[in-house]
Amino acid sequence: MPIRRPIATLAGRTAGALSRLTRRGGGTAVSGLVTSALDPGFVPESLRQLHSTVTITGTNGKTTTTAALCALARAAGQPVLTNPTGSNLERGLAAALLPHVNWTGQIRDAPNLRAILELDEWAFAALAPTIRPRVAVFLNLFRDQLDRYGEVDRTAAAWQEAIDRLDPDATVVANADDPAVVAVARNHRGPVLFFGADVTGSSTTPDAWADVRRCPLCDGRLDWNRVVYAHLGSYRCLCCDFHRPKTAVRITDFQPGGLTGSSYRLITPDSDGYIQVKLPGLYNAYNLAAAVVGAQAAGIPTANAKDVLETFQPAFGRAETIHAPGTTITLLLVKNPTGANQTLDLLRSEPEPLDTLVLLNDGVADGEDVSWIWDVEFERLAPRRLQVGGRRAEDLALRMKYAGVAPTVDDVQVLPGIAPALDAAMKAGSTDRTRRLIVLATYTAMLDLRAVCTRRGWVAPYWQSAA
Amino acid sequence: MTASGPVLRIAYLYPDLMNLYADRGNVTCLVQRCVWRGITPEIRRLEWNDRLVEAADLYVIGGGQDRQQQLASQGLTTRNADRILSDLADGAAMLAVCGGYQLMAHRYRAADGSELPGLGVFDAETIHPGANVPRCIGNVVCDWNDSRLVGFENHGGRTYLGTDAAPLARVLRGHGNNAEDGTEGAVAGAAIGTYLHGSVLPKNPHLADHIIRTALAHSAPEFKLEPLHDSAEWAAHRAALRVAGLR
């Protein structure tokens, strides 16, 4: 043990406690930031004491997949260490480890404890060689906060380097429907298990905002016999032998159920049956399929997966229901074109137009570049009433004008704050008997909105909801 | 809103390859502002294998990643150079953004040292100083004629203008062409190149109308652009100024 470890962990714990005391947050980031800054070996050396580590990375669905994998492990009676609040940089891992570590840096019951961790795309690339996951799950690769992550091809290249350095007996779990993911996952020296969706897409060309159109290996034309959404689907290259690989776990017969759930058939090597889940949308079906393959790869029994998944609740801010007096709020995190367009499809599957509040912030965690809203097809949004808010509310209002969402732009109320926008949206429908309000929010706007709801006593803080 | 006005032929170059930062928002904006004035926009989307046959009044191209830019460079220089250059010589307009702007200059030297030929519309060249040199990323405000342009930039390459090129604008906040000489973008005839990506036109309605006006000067010189009710556009413009620390 490095001499600095007790100092680093004590400093981290103190910082976290101060953060909670001063109500600045859950202390999830700051305690880990302090510890890993003082002691860079803390995260990898702590994780190496454990039974094994499972990592989950990808652009969309990390928090949900991680939570589902944890639920499967816990249901099988296996103790889990995780970072449930979406804090997915090294500091987030350090913060998740801190409560388990004693002053000498030892983790209680370490040989029985399994780490199931979500990792930011670049954090995975940086950390995987030192934390040496036993199972590495890759969900998808979409354009997201390009000002922070850079080009999608660069992220794929970073993943490739990390995959090349994985242990040969580690298992890679990857989305068969994403050519960008398959192109890197297939090079792993050890076992690779794929999951995918056998569902009929409406199109055979990728969406306008898709990031893959040509073969990632040879730049030849990719031929899709179906596109599920974005660039996900069933494809083959017309110039080389690159094609969608065979799946170990697949989804078929998908039935959307609006915002409150969905049902489908989930076929795995040792089970085949219909499940009805509380998570909406095909994108969540991918997440749950990934969790099941990830569990199987990690040796977690999945015999009772159906029961676990059917009772599994959405993670905070991911189609989360918040009960406010007189109004039921559905809070949906949107942070990039693919996720946002999937969410708009969900709203369209609702029987009636809904009151909708859209919140756009431009913090570092949201992406300072708000251009991406022009890749979101707000043309598909048909709200009953529309309110926009957040630090870049004016950009949203302008986007709505060009999307033709409101008859005239004067019908879109612009309120830059979060609480005032929420109040206005709730007041607008206050005469209705049963009220529903849909809130689409970028990451920091979602946290801000939850903080407003927490102060008003409508919902628990996120670090408690996630625990 | 009768479509009694002229037709505007827009050639949208390689939307499948060059739409990295939602540059298609510019096309959405141009189309709407034409339709609101009774102008009929006719959009031709150019795919990678396509050869442009018919003339256009306005060319639009967005930004792309290095690999896609390579393909676009091939498509432009081997299949479509004559059509585009002769239309521009006739007075057709162009909006080339980010990677598209780089391809409309003489050449782009990528981070790995490889060189992509451009069409030479602008007397300029772009050099990527290498993957380890920080990119030019952030909000931009610049002086353009007697007004301002706002936007966001995110580019590794540094563009240097030659003696025959005029800059589009002067940088007040941000990096612009190369983070050295205070220039942003380039102008050659009715062609405009800029690093302001994504949704540059919606929140710069004066630039959008300038482009429509110069494109129409080519096809329907007698047609006058009516002003539009642009309060939402200017509100977003002011919000971008505020974010960049300017009023």
Strand partners, B152: B139
**Hey, what CATH class is A318-465 in?**
alpha beta
Mean of pLDDT values over A115-134 = 95
* Among A219, A368, A372, beta carbon nearest to B22: A372
Start-end of CATH 3.90.190.20 domains in chain A: 318-465
A interface mutation test: which of B132, B152, B229 has the most A CBs within 10 A? Answer: B152
Residues in chain B: 247
* Alpha-carbon gap, residue B226 to A227, rounded angstroms: 42
- Give the model's pLDDT for residue A410: 57
CA distances from B86 to A175, A363, B54, B62, B90 (A): 47, 45, 11, 21, 6
CA atoms within 13 A on the CB side of B89: 8
Handedness of CA A61, A63, A69, A71 (dihedral sign): negative
* Alpha-carbon gap, residue B22 to A402, rounded angstroms: 14
- Give the model's pLDDT for residue A192: 98
How does strand B107-109 pair with strand B136-144?
Answer: unpaired
- Looking at chain B, the whole-number percentage of residues with pLDDT higher than 70 is 99
The DSSP element (H or E) to which B211 belongs, if any, is helix B205-219
Using CB atoms within 10 A of its CB, is residue A68 exposed (0-12), middle (13-18) or buried (19+)? buried
- Give the model's pLDDT for residue A105: 87
Average predicted confidence (pLDDT) for chain B = 94
Mean of pLDDT values over A74-87 = 92
Residue carrying the six token digits 């993943």 = A159
- Give the model's pLDDT for residue A407: 53
CA distances from A326 to A437, A459, A461 (A): 10, 14, 21
Contact state of B232 with A152 under an 8 Å Cβ cutoff: no
SS3 label, residue A97: helix
pLDDT beyond 60 at A34: yes
SS3 label, residue A93: helix
Render pLDDT for B185-200 as a digit per residue (tens, 0 to 9).
Answer: 999 999 999 999 978 9
The shortest C-alpha distance from A361 to chain B (Å) reads 11
Q: Active site includes B98? A: yes
Banded pLDDT at A365 (limits 50, 70, 90): confident
Is B199 in CB contact (< 8 Å) with chain A? yes
Contact in structure between A72 and A291 (CB atoms under 8 Å): yes
Mean of pLDDT values over A129-149 = 92
* Alpha-carbon gap, residue A72 to A62, rounded angstroms: 15
Start-end of CATH 3.40.1190.10 domains in chain A: 41-311
Q: How many domains does chain B have?
A: 1
Mean of pLDDT values over A230-253 = 96
Residue carrying the six token digits 């979500």 = A118
Contact in structure between A172 and A192 (CB atoms under 8 Å): yes
Residues of B in contact with A409 (CB under 8 A): 231-232
CATH of the domain at B200: 3.40.50.880
B-proximal residues of A, 202-261, CB under 8 Å? 208-209, 213-214, 219
B interface mutation test: which of A395, A400, A415 has the most B CBs within 10 A? Answer: A395
What DSSP letter does each residue of A186-241 carry, written as one string?
TT-SS-EEEEEEE---SBSS--TT-S--B-TTT-PBEEEEEEEETTEEEEEESSSS
pLDDT beyond 80 at A244: yes
Closest Cα in chain A to B196:
A371
Banded pLDDT at A7 (limits 50, 70, 90): confident
Structural domain boundaries enclosing B91:
7-243
User: Does any domain span residue B1?
Assistant: no
Longest dimension (CA), chain A: 66
Mean of pLDDT values over B224-236 = 94
ipTM value for the complex: 0.96
* Among A152, A394, A402, beta carbon nearest to B235: A394
Token reading at A301: 């029994």
- Give the model's pLDDT for residue A27: 55
CATH 3.40.1190.10 fits A41-311, yes or no: yes
- Give the model's pLDDT for residue A430: 63
User: Does any domain span residue B2?
Assistant: no
* Alpha-carbon gap, residue A392 to A168, rounded angstroms: 47
> Which range is least confidently modeled, A270-274, B176-180, B210-214?
A270-274
User: Does any domain span residue B145?
Assistant: yes
- Give the model's pLDDT for residue B132: 87
pLDDT beyond 60 at A25: no
Render pLDDT for A46-60 as a digit per residue (tens, 0 to 9).
Answer: 999 999 999 999 999
* Alpha-carbon gap, residue A61 to A59, rounded angstroms: 7
Token reading at A445: 């706007």
Contact in structure between B101 and B193 (CB atoms under 8 Å): yes
- Give the model's pLDDT for residue B227: 95
Render pLDDT for A194-237 as a digit per residue (tens, 0 to 9).
Answer: 999 998 777 889 998 888 989 999 999 999 999 999 999 999 99
- Give the model's pLDDT for residue A406: 67
Contact state of B154 with A213 under an 8 Å Cβ cutoff: no
Contact in structure between A230 and A206 (CB atoms under 8 Å): yes
Contact state of B21 with A209 under an 8 Å Cβ cutoff: no
* Cβ-based neighbours of B60, under 8 Å, separated by 6 or more: B10, B11, B12, B13, B26, B27, B30, B94, B95, B96
- Give the model's pLDDT for residue A5: 86
Render pLDDT for B125-170 as a digit per residue (tens, 0 to 9).
Answer: 999 998 889 999 999 999 999 999 999 999 999 999 999 999 999 9
Neighbours of B3 (CB within 10 A): 12
pLDDT beyond 70 at A128: yes
User: Does any domain span residue B171?
Assistant: yes
Banded pLDDT at A379 (limits 50, 70, 90): very high
Render pLDDT for B6-48 as a digit per residue (tens, 0 to 9).
Answer: 999 999 999 999 998 899 999 999 999 999 999 999 999 999 8
Contact state of B22 with A374 under an 8 Å Cβ cutoff: yes
Render pLDDT for A253-304 as a digit per residue (tens, 0 to 9).
Answer: 999 988 989 999 999 998 999 999 999 999 999 999 999 999 999 999 998 9
- Give the model's pLDDT for residue B3: 59
Residues of A in contact with B23 (CB under 8 A): 374
Annotated catalytic residue: which of B34, B98, B136, B142? B98
Neighbours of A263 (CB within 10 A): 16
* Alpha-carbon gap, residue A439 to A320, rounded angstroms: 10
- In this structure, which amino acid lies at residue A462? Y
SS3 label, residue B50: coil
| Burial A202-241, CB ≥16 within 10 A → b, else e | eeeebbebbbbbbbbeebeebebebbbbbbbbbbebeeee
Contact in structure between A166 and A202 (CB atoms under 8 Å): no
A interface mutation test: which of B67, B199, B201 has the most A CBs within 10 A? Answer: B199
A-proximal residues of B, 78-137, CB under 8 Å? 135, 137
| Burial A335-348, CB ≥16 within 10 A → b, else e | bbbbbbbbbbbbbe
pLDDT beyond 80 at B2: no
Annotated catalytic residue: which of B128, B155, B175, B197? B197
- Give the model's pLDDT for residue A409: 52
- Give the model's pLDDT for residue A227: 94
Contact state of A398 with B233 under an 8 Å Cβ cutoff: yes
Closest Cα in chain B to A213:
B16
- Distance, CA of A139 to chain centre: 9
Strand partners, B97: B194
